[in-house]
Amino acid sequence: MKLSEIKENTKAVVNSLDGDARFISRITSIGLTPGSRVEVIKNDRRRPVLLYARDTMIAVDRKECEGIQVTEVRA
């Protein structure tokens, strides 16, 4: 599923990234690569998704979330 479909306070693992060279470069440089564990902290409609990954609080636009496929991790 897409990153934006993950509910708040849920953990997930990044499966794949999809986008142009610029997007791939930006998203990897901020720490998201396949296999990264993320925790969605805030996910309000029409607002950027807030997530925690690699010790960092990161905000990602909903549109950019389209290119980030994840799998939910159940506790």
Partner 1 sequence: MSTTIALLGQPNSGKSTLFNALTGLRQHVGNWPGKTVEKKEGTFTLGGVTYKVADLPGSYSMSANSDEEVVTRDFIASGQADVVCILADSSQLERSLFMLADYAGISAPCFLVLNMEDVAKEQGKKIDPDAIEKKLGIPVMMFSATDTKAYEKFYAVLERALKNKSQLNVSALENEYEKVEGYSKIKSQLDDGVISGYTPMWLTVKFMENDKVVSAKLKNALPDEKLKKIEETAGGQNGAIAMGECKFKWIDGILSGAVSSSSPGVQLGKLDRIFTHRIWGKPAVVLTVILGLIASFIPALPFMGIGSAIPMLKGPVTASLSGAGCPEIVISVLCDVVIQSLGYIVQMLGFVFGVTFVFGLLEEAGVMARISYVFDNTMGKLGLQGKSVMPFLVSFGCTMGGAGGARVIDNWGQKVLTIALAWAVPCGAAWSIVPMLAATFFGAWSVAVIVAILLTMLLHMWLTAKIFGRRLVKEEERCGMIMELPPYHKPKWGALLRYVLGRTKDTFFRVTKVVMLVCAIFWLLSYAPEGSNSILYNIGIAIEPVTKVFGLPWQLFLAFVASMVGKEGSVGVISALYTGGSYGAAFNAAMSGAGAAPDLTEILLANVARPEALAFIFAITFNLPCVVALAATYQEIHSAKWTAKIALYYTAVSLVLAFIAYRVGMLIW
Report the interface residues with partner 1, using CB under 8 A. Answer: 16-19, 21-31, 33-36, 39, 41-42, 44-48, 50, 52-61, 63-64
Q: Smallest gap, in angstroms, from Cβ of residue 9 to partner 1?
A: 10
Which is closer to partner 1, CB of 61 or CB of 72?
A: 61
Which is closer to partner 1, CB of 5 or CB of 54?
A: 54
3-state secondary structure the chain: CEHHHCCCCEEEEEEEECCCHHHHHHHHHCCCCCCCEEEEEECCCCCCEEEEECCEEEEECHHHHCCEEEEEECC
